Amino acid sequence: MGIIRTLPPDLVNQIAAGEVIESSHSILKELLENSVDAGSTKIEILTENAGLSRILVSDNGHGMAEEDLPLAIQRYATSKIQKFQDLEHLFTFGFRGEALASIASVSHLTIDSGMEGERTAHRIEVEDGKVKEKHTIPHFQGTKIEIKDLFYNTPVRRKFLKTEIGEEKKNRTRVQVTALAEPNISFRYVQNGKEVLNVSPESPLERVLSIYGENLRDHLLPVSIERNGIKLEGWISHPDFYKSSRTGQFFFVNKRSVELKFSSQILKKCYGELLPSGAHPYAFLFFTLPSEHVDVNVHPQKKEVRFLSEETITGLLFQGIQNVLRSSTPVEFLEMRRRLSMPIPYERGDDAAVGHEQSLNLESTLPLRPFFSLEGVGPGIQLEKLGDSPRKHHSFVPKKHYGIIFETFILAEAEDGLYIIDQHTAHERIRYEEVLRDLKQKAYRSQPLLTPIRIEMTKEEAEETLKAEEDWSRLGISIEPFSGGTILVREVPSYLDPGKEQETILDFLERRKTKDLEDKEMFDEMAKCVACRSAVKKGDLISDQIIAELLQRLSFCENPSLCPHGRPTLIKLSRFDLEKMFHRI
């Protein structure tokens, strides 16, 4: 007797569900796209317990006729295509019922739908992929789809889901991304009884700001480029505004959210050293191209697409971003960096001679002393004014420097060889240790702001932030609720750079999202945030005297050889290495 059998339809649907339905956020994606395809101008979403207990999506779209409802839950039933060639000219995300057969096989499903001009609407109730009940209901235009008890008959699938909090975050992201792609549609999302999103029709830029916060308004650079019938539009963030993860990067093809190959690498290459290590810019980028140039059917969940010419797409992305970054001011000078770029008013010695020497002798202008403390060190402060007992921590003691090459690297001579120092990572290490020490010793003061800083976020993020009010207080930052997803910062500590408080706080908020921080870790992350944003960058012009101070301060760091993120601050060529290279030994 043979062992090969034809699988029953219900099992086929459950297997298919494994391809399309990862969890509730996959269902939301399918249902939201169906609502958009139906010409909806208003979409409301409700989920309970991460969607495992209940998902409800309502729209005011075209709706479906009574005879179409049972067909909608059958596989391969559609109104959008009739022949194979139609697949090459799809202008929609999908069609009513594309995923409903799979969803119906792993949940209890109810569909209500009504059409314009009809006297009544209609409802079907589905169990195990089969219609169990049909009803006539009062008329309304649009469709409501309710899903209960997701994966009730496939408990193994439930086991492999992430935590409920993680699934709810995915659901929010899915709704936000759809709303981002469709600024002409109203979206309202209620999660576990709380409204987490409510946006009305608005311009694309205002939609970005409505979802991801007013904090972005002054930090977005417009991108617009067109070539060979392919258009790229959207926004990227200024190099001074970034995240510690790629979660602020969104790419769309014909309004479809996709995972674009090499997009993050291209962004990183375009920004280059305008961004510090571990920083990721925001990107809201929309491609528009003829439907025959893109295949949207290469992935079961439509996460990826295939282009007729991928080189054209990546080339357009690269050129569009490069054009914007070249035409904009790449880096704004922070208050500290303005002070660092000014000569130090030395009180003794021949000032004019010191200022014009190509090679500055550090020992004559900044003499070393037997003891040195970083207490009180700040940009533009003369070392000889810091006290009578400096203490040197490390053997890296530069005698002379010879200026900067490639707008980045300081050449310096010490007793044991030649050093090449990265001005950014070196200053980052200095600022990191200063701020970390201030935090641990509470050697800072908090200062009230004349005008409070507004931080925009989602309502849920605002609630989580306010719960950690004591943690913020330990950092010297005073926060209070304002309205909705807005919080106010009333006081900030002296270690934050003037004018950059908001960006540093947002950066720290992003880092807090990934993990719960103990005091020690919290201080460390804040010190890294401040160091990243206050350190001099590649291309910043600094005077000989400031170079001298920077090298001197670096030599008193606890760990002068690495920046807070583990990148090297300096490379050493010993006297022995040099003599060997020139065959002197």
Write the pLDDT tens digit of every residue in 257-297: 888 777 888 888 888 767 777 788 999 999 988 877 665 55
- Sheet bearing 398-405, strands edge to edge: 360-361, 398-405, 409-414, 417-422, 570-574
Find where tokens 């931080």 sit.
455
Q: E strands within 228-295? A: 230-237, 242-243, 249-253, 256-257, 280-281, 283-288, 294-295
Query: How confident is the model over 115-126, as pLDDT tens digits?
Result: 998 999 999 999
The CA–CA distances, whole Å, from 572 to 66, 134, 394, 410, 416 equal 79, 80, 14, 12, 9
Summarize the confidence of residues 139-149 as an average pLDDT: 94
- Sheet bearing 486-493, strands edge to edge: 446-456, 486-493, 478-483
State the greatest distance between any 2 C-alpha atoms of the chain, in Å, as a whole number: 104
Q: Which two tokens stand for residue 245?
A: 């993860």
Q: Which domains does the chain have, with CATH numbers?
A: 9-199 (3.30.565.10), 204-338 (3.30.230.10), 383-431+538-582 (3.30.1540.20), 445-494+498-533 (3.30.1370.100)
3 state SS of 177: helix
pLDDT at residue 250 is higher than 80: yes
What is the DSSP pairing of strand 256-257 with strand 360-361? Answer: unpaired
Q: Which two tokens stand for residue 25?
A: 């956020």
CB 417 within 8 A of CB 508: no
- Picking from 51, 209, 25, 169, the residue whose alpha carbon sits closest to that of residue 460 is 169
Question: Alpha-carbon distance 141 to 145, whole Å?
Answer: 13
Band of pLDDT at residue 20, cut at 50, 70 and 90: low
Band of pLDDT at residue 94, cut at 50, 70 and 90: low
CB 90 within 8 A of CB 81: yes
CA-angle at 108, arms to 106 and 111, nearest 5° = 115
pLDDT (0 to 100) of residue 398: 77
pLDDT (0 to 100) of residue 469: 87
Band of pLDDT at residue 98, cut at 50, 70 and 90: low
Summarize the confidence of residues 312-327 as an average pLDDT: 83
- Picking from 398, 366, 410, the residue whose alpha carbon sits closest to that of residue 542 is 410
Question: Alpha-carbon distance 283 to 277, whole Å?
Answer: 18
Which of 352 and 5 is assigned the larger pLDDT? Answer: 5
Question: Alpha-carbon distance 471 to 190, whole Å?
Answer: 29
The whole-model pTM stands at 0.65
Question: Alpha-carbon distance 243 to 509, whole Å?
Answer: 10
CB 272 within 8 A of CB 424: no
Query: How confident is the model over 169-218, as pLDDT tens digits?
Result: 899 999 999 999 999 999 999 999 999 999 999 999 999 999 988 888 88
Band of pLDDT at residue 147, cut at 50, 70 and 90: very high
Which of 77 and 66 is assigned the larger pLDDT? Answer: 66
3 state SS of 126: strand
pLDDT at residue 377 is higher than 50: no
The CA–CA distances, whole Å, from 368 to 296, 365, 418 equal 67, 10, 19
Query: How confident is the model over 471-496, as pLDDT tens digits?
Result: 888 899 999 988 778 889 999 998 88
The DSSP element (H or E) to which 530 belongs, if any, is: helix 519-534
In the DSSP assignment, the letter for residue 85 is G
CB neighbourhood size of 423 (10 A): 25
pLDDT > 70 fraction of the chain, expressed in percent and rounded = 75
Question: Alpha-carbon distance 524 to 117, whole Å?
Answer: 64
Query: How confident is the model over 392-440, as pLDDT tens digits?
Result: 445 567 778 888 888 889 998 887 788 899 998 899 999 999 889 888 8
